[in-house]
Structure 1
Amino acid sequence: MGKYELDKLSAETQSAMDGLFVINYESLRQFETGEYFVLFGRGSKRVRNILGIEREILILGNVYADQQARSIRFARRLINESDGRLESTLCVIVHQDGRGNTKLKRWGRENGLAIIPVYTSTGILPRGQELERLLSYEFFTQDPFDVTGPVASDAQFFGRRTEAQELARKLHFGHIRSCFGIRKIGKTSILHRVLVEIKNNYDATTLFIDCQRDDVFTLDAAGLLCSIEQSLRGLRESGQSYAEVNATPFSGTTAEATNRFQAILEQFDVPVIIVFDEIDYITPSNGGAPQWRHGFVDFWRNVRAAYHAAARADRKVSLLVSGVSSRWFSVESIAGVENAALAFIPEEYLSPLPRGAANAMIRSIGGMAGLRFEEDALESISSFCSDMPFWIRKTCSSLHGKLEIAARPITLSAATVSTMLDDYGRDEGAALAKVALQHLFRVYPELRGAALSLLEDGAALPPNLHRTLTRYGITAANGAISGTMMRMALLMIAEEQPIVDESSDSAEGEARSLMDEWAEELAAISYRRNVIERSLRSIVINFLRVSALSSKDGPSAKATLLAAVNQKRRAELEPFNLDLIAEKLYWLELVAIINKHWSLFERIFGDKAVFNRNAEIVSDRPDAHAKQLEPSDIAMHRRALQWLDERIARV
């Protein structure tokens, strides 16, 4: 029964895709416990242009009512085994799972595949233009930039594959390495990649210590040493090659724990690799674990002693330390005690992506959503994001959500993306970067003042601070702030420290009071104007939509809106969807649209001449220039705003 249904669905798929694809290969295959039909199809010229493909595309299908991740694994294997015959980042999956579209797209993103799911509950597929629209919609609506967890697959691991492989090789040979960097720069991704490289290519025993776990950082130095020893002993007895530390409280002394740790290291014939992630939690920076203020030095002094003892016994032991702050591994003493971690754990950083790798990432992932970028657009995005991979993904995810699906595939220029980048920076990007910087400054406070000084022209920094800021990606090699998001975040942090003038001079105080009163008046007018402008945008877009729906043969709401602006602005706004276009319209453009389609808005505003007169008064913003205003001018603006507010409130 299953094979018959699968044959039937395969035949239906080939029939439905006739005219869109030429099927050059077909078979029924089994993978793990599942059965699939497999088709290789070459798209028509139109389909190749829409999807941005040149090679054949894999079309996979099954009749299961509950899709499993093995479908993606099977697709990836078929693509890898095709020796370049199939498109490497695209696959169509025909299925009968009512919830399958979302699952397949998500699993595909995690494996670097743009999955175009085709759901059928009856076994019958749409045909012709309807199927073409379905394929295009499912392809372009997914967001391949939206990866929230660590990245490990080859298709998503940009610019750092060789770095991870080299790090794994050095750890196998008994090196001590570190990986410091600002939050979300990719430390966890490269760490996971290193662990996979070690597991697949080397004979070694690996112990992973996630220091952010409550049961780990609440231990003291002796407790953590004992936990590491007990976990290694368990690996030795079981013969397994990998484990995460089992945190175990210990009532003995640090010396006892060290002796046991040293003894177990000497029992391994293969390299022992100990990996510390989120190391900041077991440093003096963690105010929630006061035992590490003194215990930090004790811990690393005894780890160093055990490491040297293992070397004397001809045993290979490697350490990898990953975290945000390198501060506690670079100071000579802590609380007056010699720092045992200095010169033992090297200062090595995971810096932002090289510009070429950042651009390649945007180009490759963007292609999975029908977004193509001119070279200057790639440069603009990478520079804006300081080449930080996570920031790039979040920024491009925002761009993806604001671009019209029906217009894809679309090629974006620097001019097109520049306004969207500015908007994203103000709305989300600066806050995202600010969180990363605040965390860095909390665990490495010495960098705060140095970083904020970059906002001043001609600021000079000591070479060591300049070098550290560059390694963290805050500055470029030339000493300038590395990107727009970074600058916006620093400005936000600087604004949180207002300079308070304590002058007691009464005349100055009175002048300041008058200025504050004037500023509050202008701020109130500006606020009311912005509220009315947002309401006006909503009214315009909704009325145009209703008008378009009521006229089957008339132009779309987007076409109607664009027709009311000049040709230059029309070209700038064309790539965006209707909601984003409305957000980008200036006050005068909103007024022009209302005038052009006055019949739609007459019942709201009544007298056209009165509407235009009040709109003109509001357009002459008193908060946007320095001209002297009389109280009568303020009253006039208030009356105009009140008139518009009352009309809009009727809707």
Structure 2
Amino acid sequence: MSYELQRLAAETTAAFTGLFTITLEAIRQFENGEYFTMYARGTKRLQSILGAEREILILGNIYADQQARSIRFVRRLINDADGRLETTLCVIVHQDPRGNTKLKRWGRENGLAVIPVYTATGVLPRNQELERLLSYEFFTQDPFDVTGPVANDAQFFGRRAEAQELARKLQSGHIRACFGIRKIGKTSVLHRVLAELKENYDAVVLFIDCQRDDVFGLNAAGLLHSITLSLLELKASGQAYAEVNASTSAPSLAEAARQFQSALSQFDLTVILAFDEIDYITPSNGSAEQWRIGFIEFWRNVRAAYHAAARDERRVSLLVSGVSSRWFSVESIDGIENAALAFIPEEYLSPLPRGAAKAMIKNIGAMAGLRFEEQALEAISSFCSDMPFWIRKACSSIHGKIETAIRPITLQEAAVSEMLEAYGRDEGAALAKVALQHLFRVYPELRAPSLSLLSEREELPSGIKRTLNRYGVVDNAGKVSGSMIRMALTMVAEEATPQDAISVERVEARPLMHEWAEELAGISYRRNTMERALRSLVINFLRMSSLTNKDGVSAKASLLSALPSKRRAELDAYNLETIADKLFWLELIAIINKNWQLFERIFGDKAAFNENASIVNDRPDAHAKHLEPSDVAMHRRALHWLDDRISKV
């Protein structure tokens, strides 16, 4: 045990006393690394701040370059503590200048809220300074922000039993499918299933990622041959898992099929072929035309090999994951009998059950000091149609708008709903639109029925309603499942107005109407761009004033002082950037007038500034006002006057 580690452990004990009671201390080895470990129970105040009910693990090391093994060690220690320690929270004391970011990221990927405490000198802050540091590091991390597929137990909500059951069935020689809308969590489930198979079952697993260029660039014979070669490599190596190695050379289709059957016959264990992003090797992929014919050729020979293995009493399982089940449910393609029909089942990964969606929000939010009343949980889940990825993105947006200094905080439905609507306009609708457009590309029969939902007058056919319900587009009653879906459908509908549905008279009038719409759009775009620049200008100048003045008034306080008391109360809980985003145009103008001494050098003439700002506030594209050419010219001049001065800063 090094002297430096002993000294850092003693310093940690001294610094944390008063905020924690240390109940257990030890020096431990893990993967050639040396650490001190402590179990610590926080004071009632600190437990309330961190939302902790059990003891918290404190881990420390003296390495100048933190490694991911620290997180692995934390996870092992928590798992071995038999419920004594908080399962999603730990403190890591370290001496890596770049360690805070790394440790937070690795922790987030493993379902842990890591509170990093960096010290370059080996000396730690005390008392309130330490409490502020712990609170800041805890509340500024974004536990909702997870990139890539989720597999860790702490991040895997509502699907664990589903994945375990799927793995059990695959071990038994079943054919299963996992269809669902984009970002519903198919790949996360697939990876979890593969992990279950590796850890708990004796099986040979070959993973075929169909979105790889070298995979979907093959034809049917080429893919069969590549699967065969990869299986033979697994057999020769004795390994249990591999990803397909695409081979550019291939025999004829008949020979490839014969070799594939022969390869399967060499295994005594269950052979599991797992296909992800299956849409890339279907007729839906316009960039791989060979799969128009190859789809039937491939699945005809896979089906024949599967039945041959069954006759030989060998187990072969298939798992197919993708967006569209369409090509596995049609009777023929281009007049040719579809060999995949009734071979691959129509099984879907639907949105989370409402209870699981709420539990996910509640549990992850607690890691950032965000607590939600029941109606707020309901609002988020409903808004996002219980889609786990969408929920994470919406909650990440909420997280970024709440001041860290006032956490932990319980968010009410009214505040959450307002932030959700803003998120939907800024990002959420576009996110859902991507998912719907992708669905309609690979399953075009769903487009028209989906868009008809906006009218709320047509009753969907039962088959279509059932499919859209499985994809999460509609609820059990056949209504649009959430606000993000509705916003996205509206955007898709606006882009797809059919030209041939317009009468002759309206077609003749259309050029004038089109020109008018473009003019309004141009004014709107210029105003929105200029307004964003003005918001940034205001908060930056207020910040600079706050730093240079000795009166100690913060930028946020200066901004709020220009607003009426009721409005100040509404905005006080948010940080400066979020308040700026929530300000109305006239409120921005009032703040500039209140602090005119800061902005006079930019705008010069106060009367001219207010006149042009008033003109811009009269939005011609927001109401059915008769607009003359002179009105357009006046708006253009006002926008130009403001733009010209802002652009010089």
- Decide: shared fold, TM above 0.5: yes
* Cα distance in 2 for residues equivalent to 1:71 and 1:641: 55
* Structure 1 partner of 2:564: 566
Task: Output the TM-score relative to the length of structure 2.
Answer: 0.93
Offset at 1:547? Answer: 2.8
Offset at 1:591? Answer: 3.1
* Cα distance in 2 for residues equivalent to 1:610 and 1:443: 55
Deviations 1:164-187 (A, max 9, x none): 000001111111100111111111
* Structure 2 partner of 1:107: 106
* Cα distance in 1 for residues equivalent to 2:217 and 2:278: 13
* Cα distance in 1 for residues equivalent to 2:289 and 2:518: 46
1:555 aligns with 2:553: yes
Deviations 1:326-352 (A, max 9, x none): 111000011211111111110001111
- Larger displacement relative to structure 2 (548-557 or 390-399): 548-557
Deviations 1:519-538 (A, max 9, x none): 56655555554455444433
Letter in 2 for 1:588: L
Cα gap change, 1:238/1:644 in structure 2, threshold over 3 Å: closer, same or farther? closer
- Larger displacement relative to structure 2 (304-313 or 161-170): 304-313
Cα gap change, 1:306/1:619 in structure 2, threshold over 3 Å: closer, same or farther? closer
Deviations 1:370-417 (A, max 9, x none): 211112221111111111111111222222222222222222122112
* Cα distance in 1 for residues equivalent to 2:294 and 2:519: 57
Letter in 2 for 1:167: L
* Structure 2 partner of 1:303: 302
* Structure 2 partner of 1:56: 55
Cα gap change, 1:231/1:621 in structure 2, threshold over 3 Å: closer, same or farther? closer
* Structure 2 partner of 1:213: 212
* Structure 1 partner of 2:586: 588
Letter in 2 for 1:174: G
1:544 aligns with 2:572: no
Does the CA-based 8 Å contact 1:165-1:197 persist in structure 2? Answer: yes
| SS state at 2:557 partner | helix
Cα gap change, 1:133/1:189 in structure 2, threshold over 3 Å: closer, same or farther? same
* Structure 2 partner of 1:385: 384
Offset at 1:592? Answer: 2.9
* Cα distance in 2 for residues equivalent to 1:548 and 1:103: 32
* Structure 2 partner of 1:452: 451
* Cα distance in 1 for residues equivalent to 2:528 and 2:573: 25
Letter in 1 for 2:179: F
Cα gap change, 1:338/1:84 in structure 2, threshold over 3 Å: closer, same or farther? same
Letter in 2 for 1:143: D
- Report matched runs for 1:185-334 at 5 Å: 185-334=184-333
Cα gap change, 1:524/1:148 in structure 2, threshold over 3 Å: closer, same or farther? closer
Does the CA-based 8 Å contact 2:460-2:478 persist in structure 1? Answer: no
Does the CA-based 8 Å contact 1:416-1:572 persist in structure 2? Answer: no
- Report matched runs for 1:388-403 at 5 Å: 388-403=387-402
Deviations 1:58-89 (A, max 9, x none): 11001112211111111111111212221111
- Larger displacement relative to structure 2 (341-350 or 543-552): 543-552
1:625 aligns with 2:623: yes
Does the CA-based 8 Å contact 1:430-1:489 persist in structure 2? Answer: yes
* Structure 1 partner of 2:29: 30
- In the comparison of the two structures, how many residue pairs are matched? 648
Offset at 1:633? Answer: 6.0
* Cα distance in 1 for residues equivalent to 2:507 and 2:292: 47
Unaligned runs of 5+ in 1: none
| SS state at 1:42 partner | strand
* Cα distance in 1 for residues equivalent to 2:336 and 2:619: 63
* Structure 2 partner of 1:72: 71
Offset at 1:420? Answer: 2.0
Offset at 1:252? Answer: 3.0
* Cα distance in 1 for residues equivalent to 2:643 and 2:320: 60
Deviations 1:409-448 (A, max 9, x none): 2221221122222222222222222222222222222112
| SS state at 1:117 partner | strand
Unaligned runs of 5+ in 2: none
1:353 aligns with 2:352: yes
- Larger displacement relative to structure 2 (317-326 or 293-302): 293-302
* Structure 1 partner of 2:3: 4
* Cα distance in 1 for residues equivalent to 2:444 and 2:141: 40
Does the CA-based 8 Å contact 2:183-2:389 persist in structure 1? Answer: yes
1:467 aligns with 2:433: no
Deviations 1:7-58 (A, max 9, x none): 1110011111121111111111111211110111111222222222121111
* Structure 2 partner of 1:98: 97
Does the CA-based 8 Å contact 2:204-2:241 persist in structure 1? Answer: yes
Offset at 1:635? Answer: 6.5
Deviations 1:241-282 (A, max 9, x none): 222223334543333333332233233222221111111122
Offset at 1:569? Answer: 2.2
Task: Output the TM-score relative to the length of structure 1.
Answer: 0.93
Computed over aligned residues only, the root mean square deviation of the Cα atoms, in angstroms, reads 2.5
Does the CA-based 8 Å contact 2:54-2:86 persist in structure 1? Answer: yes
- Report matched runs for 1:81-92 at 5 Å: 81-92=80-91
* Cα distance in 2 for residues equivalent to 1:260 and 1:620: 74
* Cα distance in 1 for residues equivalent to 2:400 and 2:283: 42
Cα gap change, 1:504/1:304 in structure 2, threshold over 3 Å: closer, same or farther? closer
Offset at 1:648? Answer: 5.1
Does the CA-based 8 Å contact 2:250-2:256 persist in structure 1? Answer: no
Cα gap change, 1:65/1:458 in structure 2, threshold over 3 Å: closer, same or farther? same
Cα gap change, 1:342/1:636 in structure 2, threshold over 3 Å: closer, same or farther? closer
